[in-house]
Amino acid sequence: MKEVRVMSVFGTRPEAIKMCPLVKELSARPGIRSLCCVTAQHRQMLDSVLEVFHVRPDWDLDIMTPRQTLSGITSKCLLGMDEAIEHLKPDLILVHGDTSTTFAGALSAFYHQIPVGHVEAGLRTYDKYSPFPEEMNRVLVSGIADMYFCPTEGNRENLVKEGHQKGIFITGNTVIDALRTTVQKEYQFATDELNRLSYDTRKVILVTCHRRENYGEPMKNIMLALRQIAEENRDVELVYPVHLSPVVREAVDTYLRGAPRVHLIDPLPADEMHNLMARCYMVLTDSGGLQEEAPALGKPVLVLRRETERPEAVAAGTVKLAGVVQDDIVTMASRLIFDKKAYEQMAHAVNPYGDGQACRRIADAIEWRCGLRANPPEDYRA
């Protein structure tokens, strides 16, 4: 029987962290030819993940330019995908999440009339401009997709409400699969500054911030809040691996650099980042991925945004929305630093996002759809 050619398309760091385990799972299935096409919407940050997971792309569009625009990314991806599809001849295309790569990848598959599987489907804020442009990317990809791999039951309900009926699977999030391979009990950091931190006696706060809707005033407020937290608390160390976006770097340089007890470092390889998260006191972030990872590792998270499409960990009590107003962020962070009871209430491991079997379920669902397996996978239940 002919192998089914399944092409995974991704381009940014978070997509890569969540798709590499799936590319590898698909490679281990005898009836499937697992192909990997990267757009390289991120260059260095993507390559770092590929190295950690030992994944070698079959096709690389190499589109990244400094300060790229949304139209620039989308149009370059579309043109590049034509070539990739012609060359690799996929029977099914997998895209992940909500980036410009995701949208262009799905649109291109549609133009070639190739079915699409959407990994991490069904997340919603129902605010078209927040996160921007990600919320609209998700909605548009849902209109194109043929298979939906939802991390949670809530994500499935969102799709059903919008009229999607068929091809929905609840799989858990593949990020939990990734974490299981990266986090180790005994871990030596390659980044020396991280080995020198005392995780038992100091409160190490892990920070990230990069979202487009936070550009401008909100990002300034966030940076000033971080500065104030570091200045007012002698027993904290803020560790901030700064995203390579020039917009983010400018905000960091203008408002945060030079503050005491703030460690501004380059983006970390995924394994370093996950092990740092496992050892830190708490997380302040506007990242989507960190909102899923930190709860699994028992770390409280304050989200530096006005909304979240990941309500499950908020409901479980380990994630709180801190917003983008300086005073609010400082007040909420200070409470977790000073109030042991408030901290303990948030610091428990919960796993609403998966059991580490998401890739297995997605591969099983694909095999089932392609007639390689008699039954669909069982749904993931938190």
Give contact residues for ligand UD1 (rule: CB under 6 A): 12-14, 41-45, 66-68, 70, 73, 98-100, 133-134, 210, 212, 244-246
> Which runs of E-coded beta strand occur in 11-75?
32-38, 59-60
Q: Is 244 exposed, middle or buried (0-12, 13-18, 19+ CB in 10 A)?
A: middle
Q: Is 243 annotated in the active site? A: yes
Smaller CB separation from ligand UDP, 63 or 270: 270
Q: Is 162 annotated in the active site? A: no
The angle at the Cα of 240, spanning 327 to 261, to the nearest 5 degrees, equals: 75
Which of ligand UD1, ligand UDP, none interacts with 17 (beta carbon under 5 to 8 A by kind)?
ligand UDP
Provide, rounded to whole angstroms, the least separation between the CB of residue 287 and ligand UDP: 3
Contact yes or no for 139/164 (Cβ under 8 A): no
Q: Is 213 annotated in the active site? A: no
> Any residues with CB less than 8 A from the CB of 102 and at least 6 apart, and which?
9, 10, 15, 95, 96, 118, 137, 141
Provide, rounded to whole angstroms, the least separation between the CB of residue 240 and ligand UDP: 9
Q: How far is CA 58 from CA 6, 9, 23, 34, 197, in A?
A: 12, 10, 11, 10, 40
- Return the residue nearest ligand UD1 (CB atom): 99
Smaller CB separation from ligand UD1, 46 or 150: 46
Smaller CB separation from ligand UDP, 108 or 287: 287
- Write out the H or E segment, with its range, that includes residue 252: helix 246-255
Q: How far is CA 223 from CA 55, 205, 252, 334, 375, in A?
A: 35, 14, 7, 15, 51
Which of ligand UDP, ligand UD1, none interacts with 67 (beta carbon under 5 to 8 A by kind)?
ligand UD1
- 338 is written with which tokens? 């000073």
Q: Is 212 annotated in the active site? A: yes
Provide, rounded to whole angstroms, the least separation between the CB of residue 267 and ligand UD1: 8
Smaller CB separation from ligand UDP, 271 or 367: 271
Provide, rounded to whole angstroms, the least separation between the CB of residue 339 and ligand UDP: 27
Residues serving a catalytic function are: 98, 120, 134, 210, 212, 243
